[in-house]
Amino acid sequence: MIIVNLIFTIIDEYNLLALKPILYYSIFNYPLTKEEIFLYSQSQNRDIIENEIKTLESINVLKEHKGFYIYNNDTAIAERRLISNRKAMQIMPKALKRAQFISKFPYVKSVSISGALSKGSYDNDGDIDFFIITKPNRLWIARTSLILYKKIFLLNSKKYFCVNYFISTNHPEISEKNLFTATELATLIPVTGKKTYTAFLEKNSWAKKHFPNINALKEDDIKDVKPFIVSKLRNWH
């Protein structure tokens, strides 16, 4: 992690706006398209990003393969991404139903899909992660009831029921403000509790400085949950 932070410090110093998201996602072997590089960059000027990509290609720092930009010439990761994207599309209906089910538990105000699936990636050994917002002072009750359900009825399986992050409406601000948490916040797919989710975003507006181009961080774009999910799915292609 120290090396990663050093690399990002150098990138920031030389203002390499396109390279930062590419290197960040390369940690997870997840190459990005040109549009995604722009979305995950801190520049709102598309021309700057596209020109930087061209420059990085010309000096062989980046290589384009099937629409994805790879910095280490490992074209196999592009193939793996295409496979994981297809699997994500296939598993998404199950994830949406599971999120609706979780929303029926006591004191649950909002449920979003998080983790790899929210970024359009899924593999056969992966989990479906959920981000849950609870009523004030009821986080532990909600968490305990969901964990007990998983242990008793799902034999503690995490495959389709990984409730990995809880937050309550009376403490909605994420305490750790960094690139990782901003990425998780920006890529959440809200399924239930639109008003609660929108209020949560307002309390975490700090993430906009990391991703000024991501629609998920803009309240005006969250008009209806289903169209929002559809737009997320379309962005994976």
Average pLDDT estimate for 208-222: 67
For 143-184, write each residue's pLDDT tens digit.
Answer: 999 888 877 766 555 555 677 789 999 999 999 999 899 999
Maximum average pLDDT range among 2-6, 211-215, 222-226: 211-215
- All domains of the chain, ordered by start, with CATH? 2-74 (1.10.10.10), 83-234 (3.30.460)
The torsion of the CA quartet 97, 139, 110, 95, rounded to 10 degrees, works out to -20
Q: Which residue has the higher pLDDT, 73 or 114?
A: 114
- Out of 15-29, 67-81, 96-110, 125-139, least confident range: 15-29
- Are the C-beta atoms of 193 and 222 separated by less than 8 Å? no
Q: Would you place residue 223 in the very low, low, confident or very high pLDDT band (cuts 50, 70, 90)? A: very low
> Which pLDDT value is given to residue 40?
94
> Which pLDDT value is given to residue 219?
44
pTM here is 0.80
Chain-wide mean pLDDT for the chain?
83
How would you write the chain as a 3-class SS string? CHHHHHHHHHHHHCCCCCHHHHHHHHCCCCCEEHHHHHHCCCCCCHHHHHHHHHHHHHCCCCEEECCEEECCCCCHHHHHHHHHHHHHHHHHHHHHHHHHHHCCCCCEEEEEEECCHHHCCCCCCCCCEEEEEECCCCHHHHHHHHHHHHHHHCCCCCCCCEEEEEEECCCCCCCCCCHHHHHHHHCCEEEECHHHHHHHHHHCHHHHHCCCCCHHHCHHHCCCHHHHHHHHHHCCC
> Which pLDDT value is given to residue 1?
47
Average pLDDT estimate for 103-119: 93
Is the predicted pLDDT of residue 236 greater than 60, yes or no? no
Q: Tally Cβ neighbours within 10 Å of residue 37.
A: 25
> Which pLDDT value is given to residue 159?
55
Average pLDDT estimate for 47-75: 91
